C-alpha cells in the first residue's frame, strides 16, 4: 500500500479555485465598489437613482463590456469574470451589481451570440463604451409564463411595427438599446416570438412608469410602451421565430449571475455582522465572544460558501461548454435563499440598530427579496431541477 506522501495529486487546481488573474480582477472591482460606490449607496437608495458619474466610471473600468471582444473596445474576458464582478459589486450595492449583470450576462451576451456582423459592429462598440442595454421580455400577462406575450410585430415594408407594453424592465431608465421580444406570427405560438434591437429614439417607442420598489432601488425598473414602434428589419436578432430559443438560453445563463449577486449580498451582510459582533459589548465583553453569536456567524459563513461554490461551478461549466441548466437553477435557487436568510440573520446580530437605516444591513435585507423572484422564481427553479433529475 503506498505511503501517504505518495498519494496522487491533482494535475490542476479545482475549477472553483480562482487563478491569480481572477483574484486581481476581483480585488480591483471590490476596491472600486468600496471606494467609489460605497459612499453613495444610501443616498442612491433613498433617491431611487444610480449616479451617472458612477455609471460612467463602470464603463471606464471595463465593467460594462467584460465579454465584448477587444476589437469592439471590450475587455475580451469570459463569463466567469462577469460573475466575479457581479459578486464583488453586490457586497457593497446589489443595485450596482444588477446593472452590470444585465448589461453583461444578458444584453451583451445575446448580441455576441446571436448578432450578425453588422449588428455587432453597430452595437457592441457602443455597449462597451457608453450605452446601457435592457432585456425586455416580461409583460403584465407573462411572468413565469414568459412566452404568453401580447406584444406584436407586424411587417411593414423594410420595417416591423411593434405594439405592446413591457413591464419590470431592468436598466430601462438609463438604456439606449432594448432587446424587445414580440410575436411576429401569433398563429405559430411561441415559435413566432422574435427578438428586436430597439433604440430609444425609434419612432413610437417610449419609456413609461418607473417602479417604486422595496429593494435594489437605485437600479431602474420601468415600463416600456410601443405604439407602432418602427424597427428596421435589419434589427431582427437571429431570425424571425428564434426569440424563444434566444430568451431561454440567455436566462439560463443569467440565473448564474443572479446567484452571484445573492452571494455577494450575503457576503456583505455577513461582513457587517462579524464587524459589529467584534465591536458591540454586552456583559463586559464583545458579543462575538458568546457561543450563541459564534454559532450564528458560523452557520451564515458556511451557507455563503456553499452558495458561492454552486455559483462558481455553474459559471465554470458554462465557460467550458458543458451542460449547466440544472447547475444554474440550483445556484440561483440556493443562493437566493442564502442571500435573504443571511441578510435577515445579520439584522438580528445587529439587533436594534440593524433595524435602522443607520446601518447597511436593513438595505441588504430589502435588496435580497428580489433574488427569489426575478429571472425565474424559486418555484420555477425547483421545477427545472426536478425535471432534469427525473429525466
pTM score over 0.85: yes
**Active-site residue (options: 139, 199, 340, 375):** 375
CB proximity list for 146: less than 8 A, separation 6 or greater: 137, 138, 247, 251
- Poorest-pLDDT segment among 143-147, 223-227, 255-259: 143-147
| 179, pLDDT greater than 90 | yes
Asked if the 245-390 domain carries CATH number 1.20.140.10, the reply is yes
Per-residue pLDDT tens over the stretch 65-117? 999 999 999 999 999 999 999 999 999 999 999 999 999 999 999 999 999 99
| 153, pLDDT greater than 90 | yes
Domain map (residue ranges) of the chain: 20-131, 135-241, 245-390
Q: What is the mean pLDDT of residues 214-219?
A: 98
| 367, pLDDT greater than 90 | yes
What are the cell numbers at 105? Answer: 450576462
pLDDT of residue 14: 59
pLDDT of residue 139: 95
> At the top level of CATH, which class does the domain 20-131 belong to?
mainly alpha
Question: Residue 207 has what DSSP assignment?
Answer: E
Contact between 363 and 45 under an 8 Å Cβ cutoff? The reply is yes
What are the cell numbers at 35? Answer: 471606494
User: CA distances (Å), 158 to each of 84, 201, 214, 237, 288, in order?
Assistant: 42, 18, 43, 15, 68
pLDDT of residue 7: 35
What fold does the segment set 135-241 form as a domain? Butyryl-CoA Dehydrogenase, subunit A; domain 2 (2.40.110)
Quote the CA–CA distance of 124 and 82 in Å, as a whole number: 16
Percentage of the chain modeled with pLDDT above 90:
94
| 144, pLDDT greater than 80 | no
Q: What is the mean pLDDT of residues 32-60?
A: 98
- Give catalytic status of residue 60 as yes or no: no
| 243, pLDDT greater than 70 | yes
Mean pLDDT of the chain: 95
Q: What is the mean pLDDT of residues 278-293?
A: 98
Hey, is 224 helix, strand or coil?
strand
Q: What is the mean pLDDT of residues 346-361?
A: 97
| 3, pLDDT greater than 80 | no
Confidence of residue 10 (pLDDT cuts 50, 70, 90): very low
Q: What is the mean pLDDT of residues 355-372?
A: 97
pLDDT of residue 151: 97
pLDDT of residue 77: 97
pLDDT of residue 11: 43
Confidence of residue 143 (pLDDT cuts 50, 70, 90): confident
Residue 356 burial by Cβ neighbours in a 10 Å radius (0-12, 13-18, 19+): exposed
| 285, pLDDT greater than 80 | yes
Amino acid at each position: 500500500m503506498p505511503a501517504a506522501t505518495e498519494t496522487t495529486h491533482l494535475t490542476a487546481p479545482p475549477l472553483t479555485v480562482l487563478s491569480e488573474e481572477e483574484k486581481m480582477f476581483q480585488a480591483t472591482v471590490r476596491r472600486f465598489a468600496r471606494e467609489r460606490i460605497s459612499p453613495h449607496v444610501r443616498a442612491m437608495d433613498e433617491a431611487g437613482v444610480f449616479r451617472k458619474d458612477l455609471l460612467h466610471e463602470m464603463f471606464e473600468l471595463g465593467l460594462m463590456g467584460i465579454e465584448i471582444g477587444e476589437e469592439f473596445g471590450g475587455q475580451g474576458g469570459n463569463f466567469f469574470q462577469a460573475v466575479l464582478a457581479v459578486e464583488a459589486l453586490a457586497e457593497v450595492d446589489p443595485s450596482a451589481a444588477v446593472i452590470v449583470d444585465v448589461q453583461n450576462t444578458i444584453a451583451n451576451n445575446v448580441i455576441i451570440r446571436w448578432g450578425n456582423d453588422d449588428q455587432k459592429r453597430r452595437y457592441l462598440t457602443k455597449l462597451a463604451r457608453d450605452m446601457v442595454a435592457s432585456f425586455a421580455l416580461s409583460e403584465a400577462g407573462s411572468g413565469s409564463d414568459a412566452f404568453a406575450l401580447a406584444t406584436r410585430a407586424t411587417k411593414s415594408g423594410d420595417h416591423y411595427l411593434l405594439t405592446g407594453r413591457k413591464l419590470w424592465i431592468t436598466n430601462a431608465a438609463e438604456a439606449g438599446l432594448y432587446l424587445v421580444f414580440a410575436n411576429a406570427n401569433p398563429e405559430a405560438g411561441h415559435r413566432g416570438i422574435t427578438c428586436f434591437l430597439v433604440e430609444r429614439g425609434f419612432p413610437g417607442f417610449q419609456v413609461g412608469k418607473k417602479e417604486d420598489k422595496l429593494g435594489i432601488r437605485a437600479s431602474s425598473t420601468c415600463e416600456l410602451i410601443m405604439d407602432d414602434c418602427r424597427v428596421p428589419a435589419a434589427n431582427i436578432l437571429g431570425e424571425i421565430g428564434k426569440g424563444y430559443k434566444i430568451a431561454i438560453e440567455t436566462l439560463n445563463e443569467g440565473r448564474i449571475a443572479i446567484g452571484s449577486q445573492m452571494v455577494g449580498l450575503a457576503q456583505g451582510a455577513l461582513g457587517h455582522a462579524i464587524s459589529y459582533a467584534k465591536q458591540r459589548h454586552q456583559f463586559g465583553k464583545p458579543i462575538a465572544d458568546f457561543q450563541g453569536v459564534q454559532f450564528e456567524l458560523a452557520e451564515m459563513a458556511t451557507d455563503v460558501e456553499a452558495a458561492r461554490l454552486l455559483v462558481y461551478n455553474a459559471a465554470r461549466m458554462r465557460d467550458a461548454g458543458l451542460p449547466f441548466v440544472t447547475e444554474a437553477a440550483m445556484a440561483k435557487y440556493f443562493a437566493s435563499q442564502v442571500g435573504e436568510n443571511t441578510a435577515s440573520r445579520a439584522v438580528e446580530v445587529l439587533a436594534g440598530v440593524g433595524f435602522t437605516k443607520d446601518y447597511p444591513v436593513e438595505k441588504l435585507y430589502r435588496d435580497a427579496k428580489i433574488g427569489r423572484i426575478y429571472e425565474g422564481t424559486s418555484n420555477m427553479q425547483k421545477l427545472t431541477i426536478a425535471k432534469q433529475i427525473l429525466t
